[in-house]
Structure 1
Amino acid sequence: MSFDLNSNFFEIAFNVSEHTEAMLAYWDKNLICRYANKATADWFGITPDQMINKSHLSDILGTLFDVQLPYINGALAGKIQVFDQVIHLYTGKAKNVRVTYHPDYINGDVKGFYAHMADISPLNSKPVDGELRVEELPEFLTQNDQLLENVAKTLNENLFTGFPSISALSKKHFVSESKLKRDFKQSFGRTIFSYYRYLQMEIADRYIREKRCNKNQMAVMLNFSNPSNFSACYHKYLEEKSAIQETEHPQQENINHYKTLIEEAPITIAMFNSQMQFIAVSKSWITEYNLQNTNFINKSVYEILPSTKKKCEKLHLHCLKGNIYQCDGLLLRKNNGIRCWLKWNIYPWFTPSGEVGGLCVHTEDISKIKLIEKENERAVRLLKKADTISKIGTWTRDMLTHTTQWDKVIQNIFELPDHFIPNMKAVWKFVKEGKNRIIVKKALRNSLKYGNPFDIEVEVITVGGNLKRIRIIGYPELQNNKCKKLSGILFDITPV
């Protein structure tokens, strides 16, 4: 039997999408529906004809829109988004669903995304042996957490059928009434009945805003015996919702404050949200990473700076848990292809509610410092090879740890025992009093304050009481215009 492969393929694909229980839709970059299958009527009580070319995604998701917004932005930024969520159908029944947002690329640009919602856990189904139950929670949750989640699911299932009594809930979930009431309020911040009413009001608010029904009809659907009681509950819900929105407004102001500070900062710093998408950067960051002609705001750092994904993604995830990370040197490749050494400081920023809102990343190019260190190491190796011939010793003074190191040649010049621990205060006593100490003091001051190298000759008196003339050469190493280390050589020039 012969047939047209293309026409049959698309016909089969269309029939499958129209007869699947999963919800399928396509949203353009303006979040307007361009396609929806028949399952949308079962999920959200709205037909494809009512959605296509008419509905905004926020109209369909309702209160879930703000929750899903980071994933929506992620899809529009070109990243596949997969996440699990409990949603309420238009009938009031709760479903545990897996949502997939797959970006649609046309000529390299994201024009929209495909949405797929699948029921991954019929609430009353029995698991196959060896299969994970939907009711099972992540291993870091306790058995009591699981119990309370199951109670919440029971309440979700009964939003349109009436509140199950505390007694019925305790019997169904095998827990005493007193423990159930105490633990539920501690975990959810509400009594069981208050939590149930709040869920009902969420659905009522959505139906009323979408003009699917009026308040009286909603009161009947939710089994209120008196419409005035429903109106009182709904009014209380709206007040609470308004209060929550008022707390969210300062949060946005807080983010805007962060953005302003970062954009005007004279250092190389960037601000990211919890999805590691750019929120704001300093001018120095744009210059440092060659982003002048790049539209990077709201895009992932891994997309804009691909080399960071392999080396930094785990660090970012660690810091998104509230941790701070500092790195003294990481070799990365910039957008212009140049490899450089970067010093990193990564720290989380927090919302007014205390949650991690994202990360601030400060970097500093220390390639020149690394080059100086490498040259110093090379010079030290060469000097150590020649020390036995020329009596040249090497020394280092770390200004951060206040420690001093020198080699055996210097130890011998000062006639010190092998067990002597290098100590600048002790060495200062070896320098002959008078103009010699003035010369040393001036050289050190100019080096530490202005970063000037020095080359001086002074007289010293050794441990054995012998007068010697030595030459000291020092090179400062600067970081943020401050001297963090002095290194150099010292050799005996006493006339024979």
Structure 2
Amino acid sequence: MTEHTEAMLAYWDKNLICRYANKATADWFGITPEHMINKSHLSEILGSLFEVQLPYINGVLAGKIQVFDQVIHLYSGKAKNVRVTYHPDYVDGELKGFYAHMTDISPLNNKHVNDEAGIEKLPEFLTQNDQLLENVAKTLNENLFIGFPSISALSKKHFVSESKLKRDFKQSFGRTIFSYYRYLQMEIADRYIREKRCNKNQMAVMLNFSNPSNFSACYHKYLEEKSTDLQNNQVQKESINHYKTLIEEAPITIAMFDTQMQFIAVSESWVTEYNLQNTNFLEKSLYEILPDTKKKCEKQHVHCLQGHIYHCEGLLLKKNNGIRSWLKWNIYPWFTPSGEVGGLCVHTEDISKVKAIEKENERAAKLLKKAATFSKIGTWTRDMLTHTTQWDKIIQNILELPDHFVPDIKAVWRCVKQGKSQSLVKKALRNSLKNGVPFDIEVEMITAGGNSKRIRIIGYPELQNNKCKKLSGILFDVTPI
């Protein structure tokens, strides 16, 4: 399915070597998949764009979805406004690479844009006008064998100004009023002719054409337009199937919706995450399957259906199994081959464990504050980003270190007694750094003065993007007196 699309699709491993590319890459960058796969580095493909995209590349390699717009000059020399999406690929919790998707959004950027502010204009008519325009269309249907009612007659019948009627009708139906009327006539003529109920000359008379040749010209134009529409529908269908394939095979929790927020496709992770194994959810509304999303997310969905992107770092949502979970949301539109918004892709990540650790860290902070009131309890912090350590004088005194001693993690490690105590510390640190698990252990330590002490160490990890950025805790002497 990925070969029947104008969008560029590729997969890059964590070393930025291409492992997959579809045929569209030849049109975008002038290099065939055969010359890219297992051979090309991303910098070779992007050229000067590599430095521009580097922050986004680093972002996806850090595990974050990246969505951004950029002007790209194709191999042919033509410039395109492009929306680039980078999706991280995890296998068993380890980042293996990322999926890259580039699609042309030039038609979208050129449509409904305010020249001064660059803001997309919304339709001026509201719901009541929708009904008015449907009534106008009904009137046109009633006059197919009678003759085209004038714009003036239509505006008077439906109590609307001629200028507003013409503007709103074309905006709603994509055609002028007369063009729409002619198209309806040709639909009837095509059916009658195919069913051999009438020939072209008879249809010309029935539809009040003064000259059969004028009817033939209109009918021929209709057949060409119909053929083009069928081709476009096929391309549209293939485009949707391509998106469905990517979504269904994605190793992340992601779902694809149409403009009515009805499910089109979901990943296996989405089915598991939202307990949909026994639910017939396809072509049903997200709001029906997950009612809590209507109140909390509908405004964001409407905003994104206008071509925008939305990120949410934490939203408490009730799943259909009744469990409330903290979720990170990334919502972005997907586009049809013509550049129209076809619907939304929604990627979520359950961060309930992270939130629980944050709550535990708050409790730890209170504990640390209380610890300062005890003479044998000291506080410590290890920054994993800067590789620096800080502790108070109480720890200095417990380990019998001189006042001028600068906190040094290696020196403290040498104080931990070899054997069981060092193994226990290693295991606790590894579990905390890798899985974000707090620890509370007792070990034997030999002070700088050569004295053996029983020391209790408590540590709490602080996570950022599922990685430990800091360890904080307390250390106190529990040596029996």
TM-score, length basis structure 1? 0.51
Alignment partner, residue 183 of structure 2? 202
Kept in 1, the 8 Å contact 2:200–2:216? The answer is: yes
Deviation at 1:445, TM superposition (A): 8.2
Cα distance in 1 for partners of 2:469, 2:236 equals 43
Query: Aligned match of 1:392 in 360, 374, 378?
Result: 378
Alignment partner, residue 330 of structure 1? 315
Alignment partner, residue 123 of structure 1? 155
Distance 1:83 1:283, change over 3 A: farther
Alignment partner, residue 356 of structure 1? 341
Distance 1:360 1:277, change over 3 A: same
- 1:486 equivalent in alignment to 2:470: yes
Alignment partner, residue 266 of structure 1? 251
For structure 1, which segment, 216-225 or 376-385, has the greater mean C-alpha deviation from structure 2 after superposition?
216-225
**SS, match of residue 372 in structure 2:** helix
Alignment partner, residue 320 of structure 1? 305
Distance 1:247 1:281, change over 3 A: same
Query: What does 1:165-184 correspond to in 2, within 5 Å?
Result: none
Kept in 1, the 8 Å contact 2:250–2:267? The answer is: yes
Letter in 2 for 1:207: I
Distance 1:460 1:348, change over 3 A: farther
Alignment partner, residue 170 of structure 1? none
Letter in 1 for 2:473: I
Distance 1:149 1:259, change over 3 A: closer
Tell me the number of residue pairs that the alignment of Structure 1 and Structure 2 aligns: 318
Query: What does 1:57-456 correspond to in 2, within 5 Å?
Result: 83-84=130-131, 85=133, 87=137, 88-89=140-141, 90-91=143-144, 93=148, 122-125=154-157, 136=164, 146=167, 156=177, 196=179, 199=180, 201-211=182-192, 213-220=198-205, 224-389=209-374, 390=376, 392-395=378-381, 397=383, 402=385, 410=391, 448=433
Letter in 1 for 2:278: N
Kept in 2, the 8 Å contact 1:207–1:213? The answer is: no
Identity %, equivalent residues? 58
Query: What does 1:449-464 correspond to in 2, within 5 Å?
Result: none
1:213-256 CA distance string (max 9 Å, x none): 54213334566554234323422331232123212212111111
Cα distance in 1 for partners of 2:460, 2:174 equals 70
Deviation at 1:313, TM superposition (A): 0.8
Distance 1:369 1:339, change over 3 A: same
Q: Which has the higher contact order (CA 8 A, sep 6+)?
A: 2
Cα distance in 2 for partners of 1:126, 1:228 equals 34
Cα distance in 2 for partners of 1:270, 1:396 equals 39
TM-score, length basis structure 2? 0.52
- Structure 1 vs Structure 2 CA RMSD: 5.0
Letter in 1 for 2:156: N
Kept in 2, the 8 Å contact 1:343–1:363? The answer is: yes
Unpaired runs of 5+ residues, structure 2, are: 1-126, 397-405, 416-421, 449-454
Cα distance in 2 for partners of 1:442, 1:473 equals 13
Unpaired runs of 5+ residues, structure 1, are: 1-79, 97-120, 138-144, 160-195, 416-426, 462-469
Cα distance in 2 for partners of 1:404, 1:327 equals 30
